[in-house]
Amino acid sequence: MTRNDNLKNRKIIIPHTGSHAKLDLIESELPALEPNQILVKTEACGVAFADILMREGLYPDVDRRNLTPGYDVVGEIVQVGNDVSRLTVGDRVACLTQTGGYADYTVAQESLTVLCPRQLPAQQVVAIILNYTTAYQMLTRIARVTAGERILVHGVAGGVGSALLELGLHLGLTVYGTLSQRKWALLPAHLNQHPRFHKLDYQTTPFEEALVKALPEGVDVVFDAIGGSHLKRSYQSMRIGGTVVSYGFSTAIKNGRRNWWEAISGMLRSMTFPVQLIRDNKTIAGYGIWIYANAHPLWFREDLTQLIEWLEQGVLKPMVSKQYALTETAQAQERVSRSELPGKVVLAMGAC
């Protein structure tokens, strides 16, 4: 696209940290591109729990004023910067952006962008970019699971949780998943009724009590995005030689807002000393997609391309629970912050 200085970009900004009521919808000039960047006309963007942490000032290494959230986008390239070689204007793409996605036009890095078939629904692809790539890389590159192993997934009805469930079953794993009974019926039948999926209602019985009855020796891998003292409970649910993958700290949010006391005290309670790791022969691994993808962009593109192929083949059927217009961003964030909706929540830029 030839740059049009008269074209405006609608976008959401967070003027300063605070509640969802602090979100503003503004118009601005199109951003200038740096080398190796592309400008994408956004079709859809995901609403992630990471966006809530950014809004509350709890997410590291992002601006805290006038921030536009938006971790994952699907759209069409309208402009390319210098040194862009793999992509061209008119390509439909899927991008990991970390920020900037809540907008009609989004800047993305070529290195974290892959081509996307035009026939795939944008909201389905958006569910793949962040949630499924996170799940797939944790399973295959961090935990390095093998068929027949048993994993524990906390929040199995959530965006990444449901991705871990579907991918885990596809990879031949047995999945134990924590969720409230209210969300059981919200899971699609191909997951809910799978013989290798075992549901643990954490509101009725502490998950470790239910798990020890079903699997006294413990699971091979635990995926924990809750953090705090919950991470220690996950650690204790593993077999000797097991791994817990920590990829979030949702305990820092309570009733949709930041909870400093829980964030600080929970971090202290989650600490495990090296001597205990040696004695238990267990591993604690961390994962953050943005740092990992930038460190290994080729892996990111390979993994996302594989996931999009599986989506196109019908192997994957991600849950998209709700679609909102850009003008409804505050409502979307409020529901995500309270974990009210299963699967993925999406902003559709063409929605009314």
Ordered by where they begin, the domains of the chain are: 8-116+319-348 (3.90.180.10), 131-289 (3.40.50.720)
**pLDDT tens digit sequence for 50-82:** 998 888 888 888 888 889 999 999 999 999 999
Sign of the dihedral through C-alpha 184, 317, 339, 169: positive
Q: What is the C-alpha to C-alpha distance for residues 213 and 218, in angstroms, rounded to an integer?
A: 10
DSSP β-ladder status, 92-96 and 72-80: antiparallel
Per-residue b/e over 41-57, b at no fewer than 16 CB within 10 Å? bbbbbbbbbbbbbbbbe
Contacts with 37 (C-beta within 8 Å, 6 or more apart), sequence order: 80, 81, 84, 107, 108, 109, 110
Quick count: other Cβ atoms within 10 Å of Cβ 305? 14
The per-residue pLDDT for 64 is 80
The per-residue pLDDT for 234 is 84
**pLDDT tens digit sequence for 319-328:** 999 999 999 9
Whether the Cβ atoms of residue 55 and residue 102 lie closer than 8 Å to each other: no
**pLDDT tens digit sequence for 231-282:** 888 888 899 999 999 987 655 545 445 565 555 555 545 555 565 766 778 8
Task: Tell me how far CA of residue 150 lies from CA of 33, 93, 131, 214, 223, in angstroms.
Answer: 46, 35, 21, 12, 11
Per-residue b/e over 310-345, b at no fewer than 16 CB within 10 Å? bbeeeebebbbbbbbebeebbebbebbbebebbbbb
The pTM of this model reads 0.91
Give me the torsion for CA of 15, 18, 20, 26, rounded to 10°. 0
**pLDDT tens digit sequence for 160-200:** 999 999 999 999 999 999 988 888 888 999 999 999 999 99
> 222: number of CA atoms within 13 Å, CB side?
30
Average pLDDT over residues 122-149: 97
Q: Is 257 exposed, middle or buried (0-12, 13-18, 19+ CB in 10 A)?
A: middle
Bridge-partner residues for 10, per DSSP?
A: 27
**pLDDT tens digit sequence for 32-46:** 899 999 999 999 999
